[in-house]
Structure formats: C-alpha cells, structure tokens
Amino acid sequence: MLVAAPVLVFLVALAVWNPRGDYWGAVEFPKAQCEAYDAHAMRSASRLSEAVYAPTKLSRLFREPQNTVSNLAYAVVGLAILVAAKQRASRALGLAGIFLGIGSGVYHASLLPEWRMIDILGVYAVLFCLLFVGLTALWPTLRVSSIAWTGVVLVWVVAIYTGAHRNDVRIFGIKPFDSTYVMVVSVTLGCAMALLAFREAKDRRAYLRAVAALAIAAPMAFAGGQGDRFGGFLANPDALVQGHAVWHTLGAVAILAAYEVFAATGFDRTTLRAKVQQG
C-alpha cells in the first residue's frame, strides 16, 4: 500500500494546483454530481441544462477535483484485495476496483460521456464480482480452478453487457439493466449472502466488525451520492467536501468491508492481517 502514497500525494497536489487550459473540449450534459457547476446558476435554475456549468471550472485539468481524486479510494481498495487474494473471484474483485478507480477518475476529470461509460462498467463489474465473491465464500465448489475461471469470465461478460446495454433492453417497458435496479438487486443479494456467511464465519469477531463497518459506510455513501444531485440537500458546487466524493470514499470502504465479511469465513485471505485461517 505504500506504493499508493506517492500517487495520492501527487494527485492531491495536482488537484490543488489544477492548471487551466483547453484540456477536454466538449462536456456532457449535466449528470448526477454538481462540483463543476456555478453555484449561483445552479440555485437559480429550475431544471438542468449546460447553463449550470461554471466556464472557469470546465477549463481546468480536473473539472471535478474532489470527485476525481476520491476515486483513488477504489483503486487502493482494489489493490489491497488483489494483494491479499488467493481465490480467483477475489482477484477479479480487486481488478474491478482498480478498473473502477481509473475509469471513474478520468470521467470526473473530463466529464466526457465516453469515460462515463467506463465508470458505469466499473460499477457493474465491482457489484457483480462482489456477488461472485459471496457465492464463492458460501459454496466451496466454486473455488475449483476451472469453475472459478469460468465464473470470473461470465461475471465480467455479464457486467460489460448489462452496463453497455442498460438503456437498450426493455421487458414490458421496464429496463432491467438500469443502474438503479442493478444496484438495488445487487445490494439485496449481497446482504442476504452476508447474513448467510455468519454461519460459516471462522472468526465471528472479525465478521461482526466488518458487518458494522459495512452498515455504517454503505448508508453514508448512499446519502452522499444522492444528496449531491441537482436540488439535493448536499448540492453545493463550492463546498469543501463534495457529496459525490463521499460516495466514492465511503463506497470503497463499504466494498472492502463486504469483502472482509466474506473473508471471515476463511475462504480467502483478509486484507487486515497476515495470518488467516483458510477453509
């Protein structure tokens, strides 16, 4: 993890300095975070339009400094899991975290729709890989090499397909791959598997600590993400702490806590200590 320290220092320093120039050119239609908005224009607007953007912020290298740098949390968590992991499902989750951190970081720096797609694919990959980690912790058969490889490939294929076609597939007028549905279903299934993991936990104290961390971080992350939207209770483009950055940071903590919940079963190594009892 010491490798990440210089990167963090460099990104924070760059975000503070944040040179101006025509780095990105175009900008997408305003979405679910307000750091690049003009505070006065946002408060006086009745609906979202390109007019809410602050031209001086769009000229920066990091159009959204806090939202850009906070994505390092996903990369650090992904790297921590990748270093600790022995199971292929866990390694896939670690790679997904790094992929999300990079993709989402560049998206928030650029506010370009192409990188927003990478951001979304990263979110889907993390959610689906985390579910696969839960299944692997509960069912030892999935740890068999050939089955694990097949499962990892399928998880990534499904994540990419559903993320890329989240607005294209409709069933009775409903978009089943919409990010809201995917998030709700994934969180529900993940919570169910986390509860089932209690019976398999070899370290009950570690399990309960991880559950407590997850129960605290996940709702706070959700509140940060929702509150930062246009008209939300945390929507303030000039705030010292941006709600969307809270979503990134505590969302990464929630991912790590969820991994630790399943690691407490002994199916794979924990990121928090060297000695682990594996099943």
Check residue 5 and give its pLDDT. 74
Is the model's pLDDT at 274 over the cut of 60? no
> With pLDDT > 90 as the criterion, what percentage of the chain qualifies?
89
Check residue 7 and give its pLDDT. 76
* Cα(106)–Cα(104) distance, integer angstroms: 6
188-199: average pLDDT: 96
Using N-to-C axis directions, what is the helix angle for 243-263 and 179-200, rounded to 10°?
Answer: 30
3-class SS at 270? coil
Is the model's pLDDT at 183 over the cut of 90? yes
Average pLDDT score, the chain? 93
114 token code pair:
């192409």
φ, ψ for residue 202 (rounded to 5)?
-90, -20
* Cα(169)–Cα(179) distance, integer angstroms: 12
- 111 within 8 A of 64, measured Cβ to Cβ: yes
Q: pTM value?
A: 0.93
- Alpha helices, H only, 111-144: 113-138
| Weakest-pLDDT range from 3-12, 49-58, 166-175, 176-185 | 3-12
* Cα(217)–Cα(249) distance, integer angstroms: 9
Domains of the chain with bracketed CATH: 65-263 (1.20.1070)
Q: Who contacts 28 (Cβ-Cβ below 8 Å, separation ≥6)?
A: 111, 112, 113, 116
Is the model's pLDDT at 4 over the cut of 70? no
Check residue 3 and give its pLDDT. 62
